[in-house]
Amino acid sequence: MKKTLNQMLIIFGASGDLTARKLIPAIYNLYKGQHLPENFVVLGVSRSNMGSEEFRSKVVLESEFLQKKIAKEEKDFVQKFADKLYYEDLGTDYDASYEKLAKRINQLDEEHGTDGNLIFYLSTPPSLYETIAKNLHDAGLTKEEKGWRRLIVEKPFGYNLKSAKALNDGLHYYFNEGQVYRIDHYLGKETVQNLLVTRFSNSIFEPLWNRRYIHHVEITNAETVGVEKRGGYYDKSGALRDMFQSHLLQIVSLIVMEPPISSDAEEIRDEKVKALKSLRIMKDEETIIKNTLRGQYVGSTIGGKKVKGYREEEGVNPESTTETFAALKFYVDNWRWKDVPFYVRTGKAMPTKVTEVVIHFKTPHHEVFKSQDVYKKDNKLIIRIQPDEGVLLKFGVKVPGLGFHVEQANMDFYYSDLDSAQVMDAYERLLLDAMQGDTTLYARADEVEAAWRFVDPILECWENNPSVNTYGYAAGTWGPKNSDELIEDSFGWRNPGDLLTDESGFCILC
Ligand SMILES: NC(=O)C1=CN([C@@H]2O[C@H](COP(=O)(O)OP(=O)(O)OC[C@H]3O[C@@H](n4cnc5c(N)ncnc54)[C@H](OP(=O)(O)O)[C@@H]3O)[C@@H](O)[C@H]2O)C=CC1
Ligand SMILES: O=C1O[C@H](COP(=O)(O)O)[C@@H](O)[C@H](O)[C@H]1O
């Protein structure tokens, strides 16, 4: 069991959406699950003028995100949690503010016995990350004289390779790499971590995990929601930056990587970096145009309800060409994966919310059952990241009766079947890891840069050719029709009929 030392968590951007929606609920759950150390306080920091009481009301006592839980809990318990929260108003005079902030931190540290251990969580607009790091340094807050210092940085980490490198360099000026925790909340998802366990704790999958047996790999990430209230941010980002460069390439790296020597953070991250470096970079426009495709959702009617198109969303340029759907085909240039295509698609405003990895195995090389449909369906290993988390293997079985009729059967595992299926929320897990000094599930500087190196030429090509391979798709559909052509040389994307959705829009693993 790792130890969580007494500490203070200082959240920059405490008046913002992420703090209220994700961070405070995650800390609350850690408190409820008795994962927090004995001495622990949160100090919220932003420019909005409010006191600690108002902050506590906003993010705990009157928070729409915690209200449901609070109704079920003892009031005293919730109040005790709220009492651990403080707020410091930064104002606009930065130099004076950070001196004041340093005093407040030292005072809270003395009063609450947090032993000088400080985690700074940057949940502000990314343009401020470096400035905040510098201000912390100038105010003497980065010195590890008494206790340690850690810095958690939210995504997006950079806008392209150049800016990501500049940000890494900027942060490294004030914090060493071991102190920097770049968050990617997909790494906090139980099922993403299970990719490692499925591969490296079983002897039955790994011998097949290569070009000899795998025909292609398919990854789908679909969301039913559009851009919601984040139109301003998203319009400058798009699906490739927002989902692919970070979350989906993290998943790819876990599928592609070689076995690490141990589960040590650096061993795992070394292998992930090697995996990302082995992605074949699409250098010329012809290759990019042939192997990538983008789309943007347009208004439609779903279940009798009118749904807005992307260009009508708040904060979005009415003439925007930003993609809300992206599909890519690419290769991995190494011994294990030579010539195995990877197909990845991600989109907003799709029919269901689902993220899954499908490993498609090759059909047998010699056809024993000549007259039947046996070889038209491949063996698939489906790793469902969310929802209905689990793993499913599809394989052929004989239909009872005459002849050799074959049907596919499923062998499955669902997380919900586990007795202890208390799946921690991603932010909860990641925050706890940072509190315990475990960087395994955080992206390292070279990892982020390797991911950008792959994505950069595609972004550049798309920017230079805004209308090439760009298609509209009706909100509530599986993206542009043309995305089917991208995967034509294999079995096609998983049949939408196999991505079954129940009445509430929940995608069932089958
Ligand atoms: N919301 C989400 O679902 C997700 C967000 N993220 C990332 O998290 C970060 C925060 O996002 P989100 O909460 O949505 O953004 P918001 O715009 O809701 O909040 C931004 C916060 O930053 C504060 N802020 C602005 N300037 C400063 C400053 N100079 N010093 C300190 N605080 C400042 C703002 O408060 P004030 O104006 O009071 O200073 C506000 O609290 C972003 O980097 C975003 O990309 C990542 C994934 C998901
Ligand atoms: O980081 C982001 O992720 C969410 C999707 O997260 P999920 O856990 O619900 O799958 C996405 O909506 C958002 O655009 C992106 O910034």
Give the Å distance between the CA of 124 and the centre of ligand 1: 3
Ligand nearest 18 Cα, by number?
1
> In what helix (H) or strand (E) does residue 354 lie, and over which residues does it extend?
strand 354-361
Residue 88 Cβ contacting ligand 1 at under 6 Å: no
The ligand 1 atom nearest the CA atom of 122: 9
- Identify the pLDDT of residue 381: 96
- Identify the pLDDT of residue 407: 87
Q: Which residues contact 408 (CB under 8 A, 6 or more apart)?
A: 377, 394, 395, 396, 397
Give the Å distance between the CA of 275 and the centre of ligand 1: 32
Catalytic residue among 35, 216, 247, 360: 247
The residue among 259, 166, 162, 127 whose CA lies nearest residue 205 is 259
Q: Side chain identity at 228, as an amino acid letter?
A: E
The residue among 37, 30, 36, 58 whose CA lies nearest residue 46 is 58
Ligand nearest 188 Cα, by number?
2
Ligand nearest 246 Cα, by number?
2
User: Which residue has the least CA distance to atom 25 on ligand 1?
Assistant: 124
Gyration radius from the chain CA atoms: 24
The residue among 13, 402, 359, 22 whose CA lies nearest residue 219 is 359
Backbone phi, then psi, for 138, in 5-degree steps? -65, -30
- Identify the pLDDT of residue 469: 83
**Residue 348 among known ligand-binding residues:** yes
How far apart, in whole angstroms, are the C-alpha atoms of residue 440 and residue 187?
Answer: 9
User: Which residue has the least CA distance to atom 9 on ligand 2?
Assistant: 223
The alpha carbon of residue 147 and the mean position of all alpha carbons in its chain are separated, in whole angstroms, by 30
User: Which residue has the least CA distance to atom 15 on ligand 2?
Assistant: 242
How far apart, in whole angstroms, are the C-alpha atoms of residue 463 and residue 480?
Answer: 19
- Identify the pLDDT of residue 420: 66
- Count of beta carbons in the 10 Å neighbourhood of residue 465: 13
Q: Which residue has the tokens 């408190």?
A: 31
Give the Å distances, CA to CA, from 357 to 37, 128, 264, 327, 387.
37, 35, 25, 14, 12
CA dihedral 434, 435, 437, 438 (to 10 degrees): -50
The ligand 1 atom nearest the CA atom of 128: 29
CA dihedral 7, 11, 14, 20 (to 10 degrees): -70
Give the Å distances, CA to CA, from 203 to 322, 390, 412, 488.
44, 19, 18, 32
User: Helical H runs in 204-345?
Assistant: 231-235, 239, 249-256, 265-277, 285-291
- CATH code of the domain occupying 7-154: 3.40.50.720
DSSP 224: S
Q: For the chain, which residues make up each domain, given as ranges?
A: 7-154, 187-423+444-486
- Identify the pLDDT of residue 415: 87
User: Which residue has the least CA distance to atom 14 on ligand 2?
Assistant: 242
Q: At what angle do helices 24-32 and 75-82 cross, to 10 degrees?
A: 120
Q: Which residue has the tokens 């930064």?
A: 90
The ligand 2 atom nearest the CA atom of 221: 10
Token output for 314: 């708040």
**Residue 283 among known ligand-binding residues:** no
- Identify the pLDDT of residue 93: 64
User: Probe ligand 2: pick from 242, 323, 428, max atoms within 8 Å of CB?
Assistant: 242
- Count of beta carbons in the 10 Å neighbourhood of residue 126: 17
Q: At what angle do helices 445-464 and 265-277 cross, to 10 degrees?
A: 20
Token output for 323: 């993609």
Residue 58 Cβ contacting ligand 1 at under 6 Å: no
User: Which residue has the least CA distance to atom 2 on ligand 1?
Assistant: 18
In CATH terms, the superfamily for domain 187-423+444-486 is Dihydrodipicolinate Reductase; domain 2 (3.30.360.10)
Decide if 174 contacts 134 (C-beta within 8 A).
yes
pLDDT string in tens for the chain (510-residue length): 788 999 999 999 999 999 999 999 999 999 999 999 999 999 999 999 999 999 999 999 989 888 777 777 778 889 999 999 999 999 876 667 999 999 999 999 999 999 999 999 999 999 999 999 999 999 999 999 899 999 999 999 999 999 999 999 999 999 999 999 999 999 999 999 999 999 999 999 999 999 999 999 999 999 999 999 999 999 999 999 999 999 999 999 999 999 999 999 999 999 999 999 999 999 999 999 999 999 999 999 987 889 999 999 999 999 999 999 999 999 999 999 999 999 999 999 999 999 999 999 999 888 888 766 777 788 999 999 999 899 999 999 988 988 888 888 999 999 888 876 577 899 999 999 999 999 999 999 999 999 999 999 999 999 999 888 889 999 999 999 999 999 977 788 998 888 888 888 888 998
- Identify the pLDDT of residue 95: 64
Instruction: Return the bridge partners of 88, or none.
Output: 45
Is 247 one of the annotated active-site residues of the chain?
yes
> Using a 6 Å CB cutoff, which residues line ligand 2?
223, 242
